Amino acid sequence: MAATPRLEIRNLTRRFDGRAVVDDVSLQVMPGQVTCLLGPSGCGKSTTLRMIAGVEMQDSGSIWVDGELICDTHFRIPPERRRIGLMFQDFALFPHLSVAENVAFGLTGSAGEKRARVETMLDRVNLRRFIDAWPHELSGGEQQRVALARALAPDPRIMLMDEPFSGLDNRLRDEIRDTTLSVLKDADAAVLLVTHEPDEAMRMADDIALMRHGKIVQQGAPYNIYNAPKDKEAVAFFSDINVIRGTVRGALTETPFGQFLAPGVPEGQEVEIVIRPQHLKIDFDRNGSGPLSTAQDGTPARGVVVRARFMGNESLVEFRMDHDGSIIKATVPNVFLPRPGKPLWLTIRRDRCFVFPAS
Ligand SMILES: Nc1ncnc2c1ncn2[C@@H]1O[C@H](COP(=O)(O)OP(=O)(O)OP(=O)(O)O)[C@@H](O)[C@H]1O
C-alpha cells in the first residue's frame, strides 16, 4: 500500500475578481520531505500557502492531512487546530517577550514541561545560551533561528514557510538555510516552502513544484527540473539562456551550429534550441576556420567578442554571431577575458541543449 502523504491538496482553486490566481493545484508532501513552490512574483504561491494555513478560503478543492480531510468547500477545521507551523519573513519575534517566552508561545502544559521543551528546541538551533535574552540582543540570523525554534516547538505536522530567509544577507542566509534544513529533517514534518529564488529551491528542496500563472507547470527532484525542463521558461527560470531558432525538416532542424534532432515535432514547425551559457564551448580561430565538427558538439559557428566580464567563479563572454548578428552568451570557468573584436568559434553541447516547439 502506498504511504499516506502528510499533506495533500487536491484541485485547489482561488479566484480574485474572476481571475484564478491559484488554478486547480494538486500536490502531495510526505513526512520529512521539503517541497518548494517556486515561481515568479504573483504566480499564486502565497495564496496556496494561505489556504493550507486556513487564513484564506478556496473556491474549490480540498486539503488533507495524514489522509484526513481538514478543509473543503463545506467543511473546515479552524487554523489553530490544524497543527501547522508557520514561518514567514515578516513573522518577527515578539519584542516584549524573552527568547524563552517567544519559543514557549504556542505551547501547552505545565511550566516545567514548557521550559523543558524550550530548552530542547533552543539546543536544536544552538541558541540555548540566549534563553533569557531579549530579541533585540540577538543578530538577525539568531532571531531567525529562534523563530524556527518557536515554529517547531508545538511539534507541527506541517511547516509552511513563505520566503523565510529573504530578510537576511547572502552569507548568513546560506548558513541559516542549512541549519533550518537539518532541524526540519529531524522534526520529520512535511515542509512546504515558498520561494521565487531558484538557488534557494535547489538548496532546500527534495521536490520542486514550478508554478506559473496559478498552475504547477512541472514538478520533480531539483536534478530533474534542472536537466529535463518542460519548456523554455523553465530553463530560463534557473539560468541565462541562449535561443537558436530553426525549422524542422524530416525530424531534423538545420542551424548554423549544425543539425539538431527534433523528435515528435511536426514537419515545418519552427523550434527553439535552448542552451545555457555554460554549455557552449569556445575555440580559437585558425586563419578563418574553426575546430572540426563532431557528433557531440556539432558544427562550429563564428562570432566576434562584444564584451567579456569576470564574474568571480567564471567569466562571461558575449559574442555577436557572424551568421545573423545575434548575441550569444558563453561562460567559462576561471579567467577568460578575450578582447572585444576578437573572432572565436562556438559549438553547442548536444547533450545539454533543449529543443522545444517555438512559442
Ligand atoms: N486578497 C486579494 N485580493 C485580490 N487579489 C489578490 C489577493 N491576494 C492575492 N491577490 C492576487 O493574486 C495573485 C497571486 O498572489 P500571491 O501573493 O499568491 O503570489 P505569490 O506568487 O506569492 O507572489 P509574491 O512572491 O510576490 O508574494 C497576485 O496577482 C495578487 O495581486
CA of 30 to the centre of ligand 1 (A): 26
Domains identified in the chain and CATH numbers: 7-234 (3.40.50.300), 239-357 (2.40.50.140)
What are the cell numbers at 231?
Answer: 519548456
> Which residues contact residue 40 at a Cβ distance below 8 angstroms, ignoring those fewer than 6 apart?
196, 212, 237
pTM: 0.88
Locus of grid cell 562584444 = 306
| DSSP string for 263-285 | TTPPTT-EEEEEE-GGGEEEEE-
CA of 21 to the centre of ligand 1 (A): 7
Instruction: Give the number of C-alpha atoms closer than 13 A to the C-alpha of residue 47, restricted to the C-beta side.
Output: 25
Compute φ and ψ for 285, nearest 5 degrees.
Answer: -85, 130
Cβ-defined contacts of 323-326 (< 8 Å, 24+): 323/256, 324/256
User: Which ligand 1 atom sits closest to the C-alpha of 163?
Assistant: 25
User: Which ligand 1 atom sits closest to the C-alpha of 56?
Assistant: 1
Instruction: Give the number of C-alpha atoms closer than 13 A to the C-alpha of residue 117, restricted to the C-beta side.
Output: 21
How many whole angstroms separate alpha carbon 163 and alpha carbon 45?
A: 10
What are the cell numbers at 146?
Answer: 529562534
CA of 201 to the centre of ligand 1 (A): 20
Which of 14, 16, 36, 48 maximizes ligand 1 atoms within 8 Å of its Cβ, making it the mutation to test the pocket? Answer: 16
> Ligand 1 pocket by C-beta < 6 Å: which residues?
16, 21, 39, 41-47, 196
Helix (H) or strand (E) holding 182: helix 170-187
What are the cell numbers at 297?
Answer: 558538439
Which residue's alpha carbon is nearest to atom 13 within ligand 1?
42
CA of 332 to the centre of ligand 1 (A): 39
- Residue-level pLDDT at 1: 60
Distinct helix (H) and strand (E) counts, the chain: 8, 20
What is the crossing angle of helices 140-152 and 111-124, to 10°? Answer: 130
What are the cell numbers at 66?
Answer: 495524514
Compute φ and ψ for 35, nearest 5 degrees.
Answer: -110, 135
- pLDDT < 50: residue spans in the chain: none
Instruction: Give the number of C-alpha atoms closer than 13 A to the C-alpha of residue 182, restricted to the C-beta side.
Output: 11
- Residue-level pLDDT at 90: 66
Single out the residue of 236, 317, 191 nearest to residue 40, CA to CA: 236
- Residue-level pLDDT at 76: 92
- Residue-level pLDDT at 91: 67
- Residue-level pLDDT at 145: 87
Q: Is 157 strand, coil or helix?
A: coil
Single out the residue of 168, 122, 123, 164 nearest to residue 141, CA to CA: 168
- Interface ipTM above 0.90: yes
104-160: per-residue pLDDT in tens? 998 989 999 999 999 999 998 889 999 999 999 998 888 888 998 998 898 899 999
Single out the residue of 61, 57, 60, 149 nearest to residue 106, CA to CA: 149
CA of 44 to the centre of ligand 1 (A): 6
**Nearest-5° Cα angle at 316, 312 to 320:** 165
What are the cell numbers at 258?
Answer: 549544425
Burial class (CB in 10 A: 0-12, 13-18, 19+), 217: middle
Which of 15, 17, 21, 193 maximizes ligand 1 atoms within 8 Å of its Cβ, making it the mutation to test the pocket? Answer: 21
- Residue-level pLDDT at 184: 85
- Residue-level pLDDT at 59: 96
CA of 128 to the centre of ligand 1 (A): 38
- Residue-level pLDDT at 192: 97
